[in-house]
């Protein structure tokens, strides 16, 4: 287990690094996630889903969700929830606000507005992730 402060201690240097960070922290619902981390995760998840969908269509001639797409989407489910909760924490909101997306049309728009907002300064959920990591913090390479 990575611990409560794991989200702040994983360093990233690239766009794909943010994607892999979300998988390293797949079950961490504490801490905060920058906009960059959230949106790069969404970008690469979408690209991989599209790629696996194409692979399914080529190999299985499937028009529905194929085997590879289903497996990838199941694997990405917990990291998606985790990064969404951490992103909401970064905007000063509880992770429970993610449930608002269940309200048809309006809920998804409200959640999108929450997710695109800038990071708040230090709050109840931790330090601002845009600031440098504290001295002596351990990092996962």
Instruction: Give tens-digit pLDDT for 81-139.
Output: 999 999 999 998 999 999 999 999 999 999 999 999 988 888 888 888 777 555 444 44
pTM confidence score? 0.79
- Here the tokens at position 36 are 């960059």
Tell the residue number behind the tokens 């606000």, with chain if given: 97
pLDDT band at 140 (very low <50, low <70, confident <90, very high): very low
User: What is d(CA 72, CA 52) in angstroms, rounded to the nearest whole number?
Assistant: 8
Sequence-distant (≥ 6) Cβ neighbours of residue 67 within 8 angstroms:
56, 60
Tell the residue number behind the tokens 């959230």, with chain if given: 38
The burial of 83, by beta-carbon neighbours within 10 Å (0-12 exposed, 13-18 middle, 19 or more buried), is given as buried
């Amino acid at each position: 287990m990575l611990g409560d402060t794991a989200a702040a201690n994983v360093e990233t240097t690239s766009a794909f690094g943010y994607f892999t960070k979300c998988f390293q922290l797949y079950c961490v619902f504490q801490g905060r996630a920058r906009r960059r981390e959230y949106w790069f995760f969404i970008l690469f998840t979408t690209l991989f889903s599209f790629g696996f969908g194409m692979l399914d269509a080529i190999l299985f001639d499937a028009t529905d969700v194929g085997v590879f797409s289903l497996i990838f989407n199941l694997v990405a489910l917990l990291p998606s929830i985790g990064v969404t909760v951490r992103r909401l924490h970064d905007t000063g909101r509880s992770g429970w606000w993610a449930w608002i997306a269940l309200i048809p049309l309006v809920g998804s728009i409200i959640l999108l507005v929450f997710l695109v907002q800038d990071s708040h300064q230090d709050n109840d959920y931790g330090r601002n992730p845009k600031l440098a990591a504290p001295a002596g913090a351990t990092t996962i390479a």
